[in-house]
Amino acid sequence: MKRRVAVVGAGMTRFVRRAQETGKELAWEAARGALGSCALTLEDIDAVCLTSAPDAFDGVHMKGEYLSDGAGGWGKPCIRTYVGGGSGVFAGIQAWYTVASGMADVALVVAEEKMSSTQPHPQGAFLTIFDNVLERPLEPNLLWIFALEMNRYMTVHGLDKRDIATVAVKNKRNAAGHPSALLGQADITVEDVLASETLAWPVQRLDVSPISDGAVALVVAAEGVAERITDRPVWIEGVGWNLDTAYWTNRDLVFPEYVANAARMAYDMAGVTEPRKQIHLAEPYDPFDYKELHHLEGLLLFDKGKAPEAARDGVLNRDGDLPSCPSGGLLGVGNPIAAAGLMKLAELFWQLRGEAGARQVPGSPERGVAQAWGDLMQVGTVVVMGTEGARRGTAAGSGSAGPPHLTPAPPDPAALPSEPPSDPPSAAASTSHGVTPPVGPAGRALTEEEFRGAVGAVEHAVDARYEWDVGVAVGRFLEGLRAGRILGRSCSGCGRVLVPPRMFCERCFRATDAWVRVETTGTVETFSVCHVAWDMQPLDPPQVPAVISIDGSDGGLLHLLGDVDPSDVRIGMAVEAVWRRVGERTGSILDIEHFRPRRGEGA
């Protein structure tokens, strides 16, 4: 039987665009802040749970090992977990099961990110998340992902961009009172957002969270131990995580089912049966303004398509009926990817203890939910946290005390120090001192001139080359493209025809049955008009990427549209493949030059 687990301490650096500190130093600052906030030392830690996003940001392979000493991992059971943007919340989940299982009594959780090292732009680290054979030749960039999903979400629900922009305004205003914030702005308006540069329609510059460096850390402890560390533990009541498919046309771009599945898992564990009534504040993942709304619906806090109305009507404001990102979130505080996710848990900890100062929500919230999202739009991680009052309320309100918990034997007096450490770092992080955490956060921002003028500043290009085997299914698919055909694979188990083809069905987990020639026509499911390349240099003319469902199949392709004015493209438009000349085809996704509006009979 699992033990109850609580968060007992938290620390956080500033989030800055370019930090003077190395990743190790950022991790150390956050870790010592978390330890100091609950008067512990590293000797009191049984295990370290570490996370950081792509190694490519730092150009350091096996970054977990590189960061481990700064994160307190020396001589400890230490492991790095990574699920893209979902990593920060998942690191909290990892710490929960490390302690709940009995493998440790006290664990330190550290999330670090230093995006600024990637030049000329951190988007370069993300180019490799796209399929290496079928998508990367199209020269995509990360903005495509969000723009394609945002357009689909807005179109299906008939949403007004003003309502979505309200989220960016709310979060940047909320962040104005955050000690660690990069982009807090008390006077920003919706008009400012709507007038900002269009990057990849409908995404504009102020819809997007900033490039950031920073780190966050938590201390979690088992019941019995937690109460000896603090008289106000905040309990991890429920955890959940879920993965959807990476295939664009095989998942719902309108509703994040992977978030809903993760939320159901966490709510069930927490005994939450009516999320809208039993959740008092939320910290959903908000790298883009529409994603906060998308995720609130995935968290089952609003019906599909209704979160924008809540934003417009002030429901999500700090003093609203369901405060969402009262911290300022990624849009305001910053988005050092893994650290930004763990910040969500730290903010719930401070809010539920009434320690959030100027960003504190009114009343006495007893339960909150944090969520993060990552990889190629298909990973959901969720944590429900609450006070003792929330636990009693759940038991009384829902008729269930939630899952059974192991009641531990009285803790061993030797398990914790009898006296606080002689020099508890950041020990002032307590409202009893009249200071709002995070207290005096470390992290010095460097200008470009300061970086270039620093002694020993290093530039290095990784000269790595790859030769990929295309495999059985995609190899045959590419042969078909060279012959001017689009091929799929049928699965008799679920009745689907899979494009792109695979030799197995990921749903039935069985071998697919036969090759099927499908049509070379399809329908635009969503699209964007992209005005910048991955390095943020302007594109003229702009690219028009689209997700295209292929007729005769249950799948489709990410590709480009051509032979059409971007202003004339519509979701639902019938399109057809435009092929390269026979002698120019090489067996590549580029054998289709682009898709254009369908001509002729049946168009």
DSSP-assigned states of every residue in 159-195? --HHHHHHHHHHHHHHHTT-TT-SS--TT--HHHHHT
Domain of residue 505 covers 472-597
In a domain, 192, yes or no: no
In a domain, 235, yes or no: yes
With the C-alpha atoms ordered 555, 559, 560, 566, is the resulting torsion angle positive or negative?
A: positive
In a domain, 497, yes or no: yes
Domain shared by 486 and 424, yes or no: no
In a domain, 143, yes or no: no
pLDDT of 475 > 90? The answer is yes
Domain shared by 444 and 521, yes or no: no
Per-residue pLDDT of 356-381, as tens digits, reads 999 999 999 999 999 999 877 789 99
CA 19/CA 228 separation, integer angstroms: 36
With the C-alpha atoms ordered 582, 584, 585, 589, is the resulting torsion angle positive or negative?
A: negative
In a domain, 333, yes or no: yes
Phi, psi angles (nearest 5°) of residue 464: -105, 135
pLDDT of 115 > 60? The answer is yes
Domain shared by 379 and 498, yes or no: no
Q: For residue 531, which amino acid is it? A: H
In a domain, 246, yes or no: yes
The pTM (predicted TM-score) of the whole model is: 0.89
CA 305/CA 163 separation, integer angstroms: 11
**Residue 358 C-beta-side C-alpha neighbours within 13 Å:** 13
Q: Residue 396: its pLDDT value, please?
A: 32
Domain shared by 380 and 511, yes or no: no
CATH code of the domain covering residue 22: 3.40.47.10
pLDDT more than 70, % of the chain: 89
Domain shared by 22 and 106, yes or no: yes
Helix 87-100 vs helix 337-352: crossing angle, to nearest 10: 60
Domain shared by 260 and 367, yes or no: yes
Rounded to an integer, the average pLDDT of 148-169 is 96
Q: What is the 3-state secondary structure (H, E, C) of 432-484?
A: HHCCCCCCCCCCCECCHHHHHHCCCCCCCCCCCCCCCCCCHHHHHHHHHHHCC
Cα–Cα distances (Å) from 81 to 103, 112, 186, 286, 340, in that order, read 17, 12, 36, 21, 15
Domain shared by 433 and 530, yes or no: no
Rounded to an integer, the average pLDDT of 254-260 is 96
Q: For residue 509, which amino acid is it? A: F
CA 106/CA 96 separation, integer angstroms: 10
Domain shared by 442 and 486, yes or no: no
Domain shared by 388 and 517, yes or no: no
**Residue 361 C-beta-side C-alpha neighbours within 13 Å:** 30
Per-residue pLDDT of 292-335, as tens digits, reads 999 999 999 999 999 999 999 999 999 999 999 999 999 999 99
pLDDT of 415 > 50? The answer is no
Phi, psi angles (nearest 5°) of residue 217: -140, 150
DSSP-assigned states of every residue in 29-42? HHHHHHHHHTT--G
In a domain, 129, yes or no: no
Domain shared by 500 and 409, yes or no: no
- Residue 434 CB partners (closer than 8 Å, separation 6+): none
In a domain, 486, yes or no: yes
Per-residue pLDDT of 321-330, as tens digits, reads 999 999 999 9
Candidates 73, 65, 64; CA nearest to 42 is: 73
With the C-alpha atoms ordered 502, 505, 510, 514, is the resulting torsion angle positive or negative?
A: negative
Terminal-residue alpha carbon distance, the chain: 61
Tokens of 173: 């205003």
**Count of domains forming the chain:** 2
Domain shared by 256 and 213, yes or no: yes
Domain shared by 434 and 337, yes or no: yes
Q: For residue 62, which amino acid is it? A: M
